Amino acid sequence: MVDHGPRGRSVLVTGGAGFIGSHLVEALRTENDVRVVDDLSSGQESNLVEGVTLVEGDIRDLEVLQEAIEGVDLVFHQAALASVPLSVEDPERSHSVNATATLSLLELAREEGCRVVLASSPAIYGEPEELPITEDHPTKPTSPYGLDKLALDRYASLYHDLYGVETVVLRYFNAYGPRQGDSEYSAVISAFLEQARSGGPIAVHGDGEQTRDFVHVSDVVRANLLAAETEHVGEAFNVGTGEATSIRDLAELVRDATGSGAEITHTEARQGDIVHSRADTTRARERLGFEASVPLEDGIRDLCGAIEAAGD
């Protein structure tokens, strides 16, 4: 499927039954020995392709993590309570999954001598003070999720600086694609597609002028494969397209792609929503050699095709 990336390695994907993790597993499994650890809390076993070993369990359980990481030389850490609202409801759970379990994983990676590529988030930046957002933007998270990802991000850097662990942090902007389910990030694309396919209306929160940087999951996977091999360890990279799309324009794209002619309506603005978000992609381009390649129109059209093919 991919012509670059790790080969002949023993790889662990935490959260490999989830949206991004399962695409990563698919890209890795023909050339590598791939193991997944997942408690199937939001991921599904049916997302896993054949030939992949599943260690079913909670990454907060040290024995589970130890079993999963034994003999591995490369880890992609995707497992998380990946939801801002859930983290607001239950900050202790968010901290234990997103921060504490990451620390345990880094400690085991130090013992095993593995490289770790970690999934972080622009939620660490909080409300942007300037756009596009560079990796050096101030960090003022506005949710427990953002704060826990900031801990993950900083621990990764510290484990590199203090102990020489090869860590690479990827801060994904709004990822989208097949198998996304109900993730709190780009759930807007899934929601609009569902509304359009059932005849509409497509409900936009507020005036729809808020913007996001939507990045296709295949690009997110490629960024991970590049991170597995880069010499720029101990660093963090934004993973986005560098393009901003308004939610209103997104609604129109979805309507056109589905050919539904659904009406677009506006509902109450959501409290606490960040108004604009867009990645500065310079560092990822210059140091990782990463550039997003899937235009949003194409990604949405393919997603419609995938949903129809699945007979959903």
- Note the residues at the interface with ligand NAD (CB under 6 A): 15, 17-21, 37-43, 58-60, 78-82, 97, 119, 121, 172, 174-175, 181, 183, 185-186
**Would you name the residues annotated as active-site residues?**
145
State which residue, 121 or 211, has the beta carbon closest to ligand NAD. 121
Query: From the CB of 263, what's the least distance to ligand NAD, in Å?
Result: 27
User: Cα–Cα distance between 193 and 307 in angstroms, integer?
Assistant: 9
Query: From the CB of 6, what's the least distance to ligand NAD, in Å?
Result: 19
Query: From the CB of 93, what's the least distance to ligand NAD, in Å?
Result: 9
State which residue, 121 or 143, has the beta carbon closest to ligand NAD. 121
Query: From the CB of 48, what's the least distance to ligand NAD, in Å?
Result: 10
244 conformational bin, left if phi > 0, alpha if psi -120 to 50, beta if neither: beta
Instruction: Please list, residue by residue across 245-272, b when 16 or more beta carbons sit within 10 angstroms of its beta carbon and e when fewer do.
Output: bbbbebbebbbebbebebebeeeeeeee
The answer to whether the CB of 149 falls within 8 A of the CB of 98 is yes
Report the alpha-carbon angle 181-149-157, nearest 5: 130
Query: From the CB of 135, what's the least distance to ligand NAD, in Å?
Result: 14
User: Cα–Cα distance between 170 and 118 in angstroms, integer?
Assistant: 6
State which residue, 170 or 257, has the beta carbon closest to ligand NAD. 170
State which residue, 60 or 205, has the beta carbon closest to ligand NAD. 60
Q: How many CB atoms lie within 10 A of CB 311?
A: 5
Query: From the CB of 44, what's the least distance to ligand NAD, in Å?
Result: 7
State which residue, 11 or 79, has the beta carbon closest to ligand NAD. 79
State which residue, 60 or 301, has the beta carbon closest to ligand NAD. 60
